[in-house]
Amino acid sequence: MKAPRRTIIYELFMFLLILISVLTIPIQTPAVNILNGLIWAVFVVDYFARLIRAKDKKEYIKTHLFELIAILPLYNLFRLARIVGLFRILRLTAMGKRYIVPLYSFLRTNGFNRMVDALVITLIVIPIPLIFIEPSIKNYPDALWFAIVTTTTVGYGDIVPVTPIGRTLAIFLMLFGIGFIGALISTIRTYMTSKRKQLNSSEKISKVTKSIEQVGPLTESEITIIETFLHSKKELK
């Protein structure tokens, strides 16, 4: 059971790298370029590791052609920022396709997608009144920063609400953040448990199928006996 857990953690790590690279697309600094170079190297290793493990390598290359094109360091031949951004987006889009379905499945677990929607709306709306009622908050970026820091319960203390309404909104953000973190942990646990059950079910079906194939052709009475047995196992559950 350790292997599936490691696989899920690895996939989440790869998805995190994609998010980091997406968020740094507009930033062109030496440090960010080095970071994206390291992320690109991880993508290259990931692609060829999967290629080596694939049973039919030609079929793998055909079905993952965009990933192969995306990891090619073609942007080293082009210095224009737009071309660099174009190839980076191509790479991220191709690599990200593998995570769209799992991410959607994860967000649907325990209705977590609704919590994410509520989080986004809260972080967009709450900062607006803070600009007008809090003397220490002069603009929307500062208000958004305060909302994010408060929701994550980090609380740097660089911006402190002093009005009753501002403090009430801060308390709401704190409670919402605690609830969101709890929901996130619960969703991760439920998602991993669900994947583990699916794996166990697949293994059982595979074993039963192989056993039946080894037996050979079955008569009608033998099929009836097997069906009765399976129904009894289902009723016991």
The residue that leads in pLDDT, 102 or 165, is 165
- Cα diameter, the chain: 84
Structure tokens at 52: 């080596």
**Model pTM?**
0.50
Chain centroid to CA 145: 24
Q: Has residue 236 got a pLDDT over 70?
A: no
Q: What is the mean pLDDT of residues 166-172?
A: 93
Return the pLDDT at 12. Answer: 74
- H helices present in the chain, as ranges: 2-23, 30-53, 57-63, 65-71, 81-108, 112-125, 127-133, 140-151, 164-215, 220-236
Q: What is the mean pLDDT of residues 97-110?
A: 73
Ordered by where they begin, the domains of the chain are 1-103 (no CATH), 126-201 (1.10.287.70)
Task: Check residue 29 and report its DSSP letter.
Answer: -
